[in-house]
Amino acid sequence: MSKNSGMKVVHYSDYLQLERILDSQQPESGLVGKPAHDEMLFIIIHQAYELWFKQIMYEVESVNGIMQQPSLNDNSPELQTVVHRLQRVVTILKVLVQQIDIMETMTPMDFLDFRDMLRPASGFQSWQFKALEARLGLQFQHRHGQEYYISQLRQEQIDLIKKVESERPLISLLNSWLERMPFLDIEAQWWDNYTNIYTESLSDNEKANLEGFHRVFDNIEQTERQLSARAGRAALFIMLYRGYPILQLPFQLLNVLLEIDEQLSTWRYRHMNMVHRMIGTRVGTGGSTGKEYLKGAVDKHYIFREIAQLTSFLVERRKLPALSQNMERRLGFDAGA
């Protein structure tokens, strides 16, 4: 009897549904009898982008599911899974940036051969990318171009984005996770000592930093921040003492979120420059202001900026307050002892 007897026979082409995928490129220029060679490249690159957006969303949704647990062990396989999947997101985003190199093999004149046939189609209508931004934590009030960011989408796409926006994003889940960390409760005196050390470390022309320090870490009501003062203190503690075994994974989590922001920013910046190279100052096919819209998004759409800002409040290792023996044990490999 065959080893695979009784099992479904799966063919490569059927499994990947290649017939559907390879038949899904329908250049508009060919339909009107004026084939433009580079339109095929344009279609395939944007289809690849949307497939990668789907994969990134899949990874982020799985991470959010793990982070929603009421108690997440900071030295657990679950946290390792979170870090691993977010590192995969970073790697995919690097691929998205590199794909722009391929796009730029198309010259502005090549693009003009079919550009006007695309109206009003535009990358601005990528509902998946907008949903991904919301899933990570980009709030509506922090968006550039609020007045028309969903104006060109179909109603079912708007509904999907609104649904994502109604759910807790990754940055909110990160805030809850950081707030649960018990280190600062155990070392209550530590924060007072650190505040004094940080204050003394500032030069005369850095005193303005002290105002920012208290704005971030004092328990005052703030509507603009997504990380609470307690979460901010916990994140700073992780950055300062990341050499301890139990803090290595938490530090990797904070760091990979900064990498996601960096890659998203790099992608937007490269995209902006490519658009400027292709169409100059002309209005985009979707009706946006082209380069100017993209520049606004580059400047404004940093999702994890509050983590990045914590580096303003670091001091040298040699100046760090000493931890109690009990805390050192808890942060070591015998944390459960």
Annotated binding-site residue? 46: yes
* Residue 313 labelled as part of a binding site: no
CA proximity to 175, closest of 80, 11, 303: 303
285 known ligand binder: yes
Q: What are the residues whose beta carbons fall under 8 Å from the beta carbon of 88, sequence distance 6 or more?
A: 59
186 belongs to an annotated ligand binding site: no
- The residue count of the chain comes to 337
Q: Give the angle subtended at the CA of 255 by the CAs of 334 and 189, to the nearest 5°.
A: 55
CB atoms within 10 A of CB 225: 16
Distance CA 213, CA 197 (A): 12
Q: Is 43 annotated as a binding residue?
A: yes
C-alpha span between 113 and 21 (Å, rounded): 25
Burial 81-116 (b: 16+ CB within 10 A, else e): ebbebbbebbeebeebbebbeebeebeeebbebbbe
Say if CB 337 and CB 251 are below 8 A apart.
Answer: no
- CB distance 280 to 118 below 8 Å: no
Say whether 289 sits in a helix, a strand or coil: coil
Q: Contact, 74 vs 27, CB < 8 A?
A: no
DSSP secondary structure string, 114-174?
Answer: TGGGGTT--GGG-HHHHHHHHHHT--GGG-TTGGGTTTTS-HHHHHHHHHHHHSPPHHHHH
Map residue 323 onto helix, strand or coil. coil
CA distances from 36 to 7, 22, 118, 219 (A): 46, 18, 12, 60
Annotated binding site for substrate: 42-46, 115, 285
Which residues are known binding-site members for heme? 271
Q: Binding site: which residues?
A: 42-46, 115, 271, 285
